[in-house]
Every structure is written in structure tokens, then in C-alpha cells.
């Protein structure tokens, strides 16, 4: 069974099933399609499926022409999970958020596995790509995959291979980002390698699914901790009258032993603000307290309030209270040059301003209308940036430094700028670094 599965992937005769057609699943679909595999996308969102089947993208940095090309060469999207039986590989790319208690919400992974479970058959490989705590593949997927009598490692194959997408980064694409993979058994690993080595330039095997799961968490915890460090350094430097961005730039000239991380208004995206808490939660099972991780989380979580505090100070210096002031938030995507709003600190800044009585608006060329989100909602559309519109606000908060903003226009016409991204390095009386 293993040899037949490996052969089908190597000969590119396999049908690849991508379950979850979001920021991770859609680029993966395009990659497999581009190298000649037939690809079936499965998603619970009928509107998303309809849009993809009509040849249109719903993600800004993925062009509709690429979706249309994929459709013309065999890609199809469906909401019918029964079609999982047609697939030789089922790659699960579904969300793994936190609940309100900052504990892992595994409902998407569990519900998806339960949805495909009745349609699993011999010869398939099931790969989980969603970021999660070590042990998820063994504890949640393994018993469900074997429930129908299939034996993992002999009849069906189970692997974990964490996603490493970086939306909007022009320097990397799905093909060029090395792929870590762990198998439940050696046979599982061999089949998983055969699946991914067709599409990815470099596959990095590890000894187990747990090792692969922890690898992904370490990558993101590394970033979260270092960002927490530089955010704390920002507060110290500000109190001392030092520009932290100048300091980081200077430190980055050291050719060894230092990696530059820059401060901001908080953490955003689906990984960095969430993934460290997956390990924190799992570590409790072993009687461990992950102090380093939790401390960095506290620092990063406090950044939106720090930015709003700087806004209040700036308004006070001009004889105004935040209550009743008109404030424009520049950039509500979580990072520059994308339309991705997952866990964006800009949204928390907007909520804090509104809670304190401010009248909030936003401008973001990548997000023309504030989208419906699970926990946040504003009935707002993006404000155009003109000399007149900027002058009509009491303050602007630069939260996400999109390249499409006219920073000189903002500098000239905004009465007060709260700069959380270090875009304005030259001193100016109406610019406050935050």
C-alpha cells in the first residue's frame, strides 16, 4: 500500500484534496495545480466555493487570473465532504484559534476530521497543516482516522506538516519555503515526503508528528518573545528620550549574534499572537509553567493600550480630551501591504478609542470596508486620504505602515500623528513616537 501511494505522487497521478481554502490552503492548491496535479478543494463556506469556481480570488495578494487558470486546468472547489473519498491526499488547512480563556479551540480540526472520517479509504494520506500543540495528531486525528478499521502506517498514512505561509512577502513562495514533516510511523513519513517533495523545493523530515508540531511553535514563539523584548525596550527607550528604531538599526549592523526585530502596536496575524499559548496550555499537563512565553505575551498584549495612552497624552498637550475627538487609524490589516485582518492590533486600538469616547475612523487601501469578524465589528468604510480629510481629524494613529500611504501628505496635513511604526524618524512637533 505504501509503495503504491508513493508511486502515485511521484508520477503525479494522485488527486490532491485541500480541506480549507484560506490563506494557507489556496496557495498550496495553486502550487499543486501548477505542477500538473489534479486538485479538489473542500470548504464549508459556500460563498467562497462559488467565488473560486467562478475563477475569482477573495484574497488580495492572490490574483484572480491564477484562480481562473487553475479552474481551466482542473481545479474544482466543493462543499461536499463525501468527495474526500476521491482524493489520494487530504491536506487539512483549517483555523486553530484560541477561545476567550486563551485556550486552544480545536473545534475546526476535530469537526473537519469528523467530516472526512466516513469517507477515508485505504491508500490515502492525511496531513494536518494547522498550527497546534504537540500531540494533536496522535491524540485527535489518529483515533478518528482508525475508527473505521483502517490501520495507520499500513492501510492509511498520517502526517503533520506545519504551514509556513507569509502573506504579502515577495521574497518567498510556497515552493521555496522548506517544509518540515513528521509521520506517525516510518511508512507514514515516506508517503508524506513523496506527497510534499513534488511541490516543495526542500522537505525537512523529523522523527515524529510531535517534533513537527513543536517545531512550528518554536518558530513562532521565537518571534513572539523577541518582539515582546523589543516592545519592552521601546517603552524604556521612550522614557529615556531615545529612539528605539535608531537603536535597532544600529544594533543590526553587528554581523553576528543579533537579529533585528522592530516594535509595533501589538501582534497580529493567525500565528504569532496565538501559537505560543498552545504550548503554554499543553505544558500545564506536564506540570510546567512557561514563564518566558507568558511574559512576552503580556508585554505584546499591552501594546494597543500603550499606543492609545500616547494618543491621549498628545491630545492633552493640545488641550483636548480623547472623548469627543475625531481619530483616524491608518492601516487596519495586521501587517503592511496585505488585506489580512486576523488578530490585528489596529482593531483593538479602534475599540479602545471608541470605549474612551473618541470618534474613530480608519483608512486602509487594502481593506475598503470593515469586514465581519467573529469578535469585532465596525460599520465603517475606508476614508480617502486628502489634505482636507486629514485636517478634519484631531489625530491620526499610524498602526500599519502600508507602502501605498502618502506619508508626506500625512505629515503635512495631520494635526497630530501617533507613529507606532517608526516611519517618521526626523523630529517633528506634531509627531509622537508610540
Q: What does the pLDDT look like over 385-425, one tens digit per residue?
A: 999 999 999 999 999 999 999 999 999 999 999 999 999 99
- Using pLDDT thresholds of 50, 70 and 90, give the confidence band for residue 233: very high
Q: Is the pLDDT at 270 greater than 90, yes or no?
A: no
What's the maximum distance between 2 C-alpha atoms anywhere in the chain? Answer: 76
Asked if residue 355 is part of any domain, the answer here is yes
Same domain, 284 and 320: no
What is the domain count for the chain? 3
Same domain, 145 and 246: no
Percent of the chain residues past pLDDT 90, beyond the cut: 87
For residues 98 and 319, which has the higher predicted lDDT (pLDDT)? 319
The answer to whether 343 and 273 have CB atoms below 8 angstroms apart is yes
Same domain, 14 and 146: yes
The per-residue pLDDT of the chain, averaged, comes to 95
Same domain, 275 and 317: no
Same domain, 168 and 61: yes
Asked if residue 284 is part of any domain, the answer here is yes
Asked if residue 145 is part of any domain, the answer here is yes
Asked if residue 167 is part of any domain, the answer here is yes
Q: For residue 131, what pLDDT is reported?
A: 93
Q: Is 84 exposed, middle or buried (0-12, 13-18, 19+ CB in 10 A)?
A: buried
Q: Which of 176, 207, 238 is the C-terminal boundary of a domain?
A: 207
Residue 274: name the closest of 105, 26, 414, 408 by CA: 105
Same domain, 58 and 193: yes
Asked if residue 309 is part of any domain, the answer here is yes
- Using pLDDT thresholds of 50, 70 and 90, give the confidence band for residue 11: very high
Q: Is the pLDDT at 375 greater than 80, yes or no?
A: no
Residue 73: name the closest of 110, 121, 38, 105 by CA: 38
**From edge to edge, which strands make up the β-sheet containing 179-183?**
76-78, 38-42, 15-19, 89-92, 125-128, 157-160, 179-183, 203-205
For residues 170 and 368, which has the higher predicted lDDT (pLDDT)? 368
Q: For residue 268, what pLDDT is reported?
A: 83
Q: Is the pLDDT at 269 greater than 80, yes or no?
A: no
Query: What's the mean pLDDT in 312-332?
Result: 97
Q: Is the pLDDT at 256 greater than 90, yes or no?
A: yes
Among 87, 93, 188, 271, the active-site one is 271
Say whether 271 is catalytic: yes
Same domain, 176 and 235: no
Same domain, 91 and 198: yes
Query: What's the mean pLDDT in 373-377?
Result: 74
The answer to whether 132 and 271 have CB atoms below 8 angstroms apart is no
Same domain, 190 and 250: no
pLDDT 10s digits, 55-78: 999 998 899 999 999 999 999 999
Q: What range defines the domain where residue 264 resides?
A: 217-299
Q: For residue 272, what pLDDT is reported?
A: 73
What pTM value is reported for the model?
0.91
Q: Which of 152, 181, 207 is the C-terminal boundary of a domain?
A: 207
CATH number (domain holding residue 363): 3.40.50.720
Query: What's the mean pLDDT in 34-41?
Result: 97
Looking at 19-28, 229-238, 263-272, 310-319, which range is the least confident one? 263-272
Asked if residue 245 is part of any domain, the answer here is yes
pLDDT 10s digits, 122-164: 999 999 999 999 999 999 999 999 999 999 999 999 999 999 9
Q: Which of 155, 183, 207 is the C-terminal boundary of a domain?
A: 207
Same domain, 195 and 50: yes
User: Angle CA(326)–CA(329)–CA(332) in degrees, nearest 5?
Assistant: 150
Asked if residue 212 is part of any domain, the answer here is no
Same domain, 60 and 137: yes
Concatenate the DSSP letters of all residues of 321-389 into one string: -STT-EEEEE--SSSTT----TT-HHHHHHHHHHHTT-EEEEE-TT-SBPPP-SS-----BPPP--HHH
Same domain, 247 and 327: no
Q: For residue 315, what pLDDT is reported?
A: 98
Percent of the chain residues past pLDDT 70, beyond the cut: 100
Amino acid at each position: 500500500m505504501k509503495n503504491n501511494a508513493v508511486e502515485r505522487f511521484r508520477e503525479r497521478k494522485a488527486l490532491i484534496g485541500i480541506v480549507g481554502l484560506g490563506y494557507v490552503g489556496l496557495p498550496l492548491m495553486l502550487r499543486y495545480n501548477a505542477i500538473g496535479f489534479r486538485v479538489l478543494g473542500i470548504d464549508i463556506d459556500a460563498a467562497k466555493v462559488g467565488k473560486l469556481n467562478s475563477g475569482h480570488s477573495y484574497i488580495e495578494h492572490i490574483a484572480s487570473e491564477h484562480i481562473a487558470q487553475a479552474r481551466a486546468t482542473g481545479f474544482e472547489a466543493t462543499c461536499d465532504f463525501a468527495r474526500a473519498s476521491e482524493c489520494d491526499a487530504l491536506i487539512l488547512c483549517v483555523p486553530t484559534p484560541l477561545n476567550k480563556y486563551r485556550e486552544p479551540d480545536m473545534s475546526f480540526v476535530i469537526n473537519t476530521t469528523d467530516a472526512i472520517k466516513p469517507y477515508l479509504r485505504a491508500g490515502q494520506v492525511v496531513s494536518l497543516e494547522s498550527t497546534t500543540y504537540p500531540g494533536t495528531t496522535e491524540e485527535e486525528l489518529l483515533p478518528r482516522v482508525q475508527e473505521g478499521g483502517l490501520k495507520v502506517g499500513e492501510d492509511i498514512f498520517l502526517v503533520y506538516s506545519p504551514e509556513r505561509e507569509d502573506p504579502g512577502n515577495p521574497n518567498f513562495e510556497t515552493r521555496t519555503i522548506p517544509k518540515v514533516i513528521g509521520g506517525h510511523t516510518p511508512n507514514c513519513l515516506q508517503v508524506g515526503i513523496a506527497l510534499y517533495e513534488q511541490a516543495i523545493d526542500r522537505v525537512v523530515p523529523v522523527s515524529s508528528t510531535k517534533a513537527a508540531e513543536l517545531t512550528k511553535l518554536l518558530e513562532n514563539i521565537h518571534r513572539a518573545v523577541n518582539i515582546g523584548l523589543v516592545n519592552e525596550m521601546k517603552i524604556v527607550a521612550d522614557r529615556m528620550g531615545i529612539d528605539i528604531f535608531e537603536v535597532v538599526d544600529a544594533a543590526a549592523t553587528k554581523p553576528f549574534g543579533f537579529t533585528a526585530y522592530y516594535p509595533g502596536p501589538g501582534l497580529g496575524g493567525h500565528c504569532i499572537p496565538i501559537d505560543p499559548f498552545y504550548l503554554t496550555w499543553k505544558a500545564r499537563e506536564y506540570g510546567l509553567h512557561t514563564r518566558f512565553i507568558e511574559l512576552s505575551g503580556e508585554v505584546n498584549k499591552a501594546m494597543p493600550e500603550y499606543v492609545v495612552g500616547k494618543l491621549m497624552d498628545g491630545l492633552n498637550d493640545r488641550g483636548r480630551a480623547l472623548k469627543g475627538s475625531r481619530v483616524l487609524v491608518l492601516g487596519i490589516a495586521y501587517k503592511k501591504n496585505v488585506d489580512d485582518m486576523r488578530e490585528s492590533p489596529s482593531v483593538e486600538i479602534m475599540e479602545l478609542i471608541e470605549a474612551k469616547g473618541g470618534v474613530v475612523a480608519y483608512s486602509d487601501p487594502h481593506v475598503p470596508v470593515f469586514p465581519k469578524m467573529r469578535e469585532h465589528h465596525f460599520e465603517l468604510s475606508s476614508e480617502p486620504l486628502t489634505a482636507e480629510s486629514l485636517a478634519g481629524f484631531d489625530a491620526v494613529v499610524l498602526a500599519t505602515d502600508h507602502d501605498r500611504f502618502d506619508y508626506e501628505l500625512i505629515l503635512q496635513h495631520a494635526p497630530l500623528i501617533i507613529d507606532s511604526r517608526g516611519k517618521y524618524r526626523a523630529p517633528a512637533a506634531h509627531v509622537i513616537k508610540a
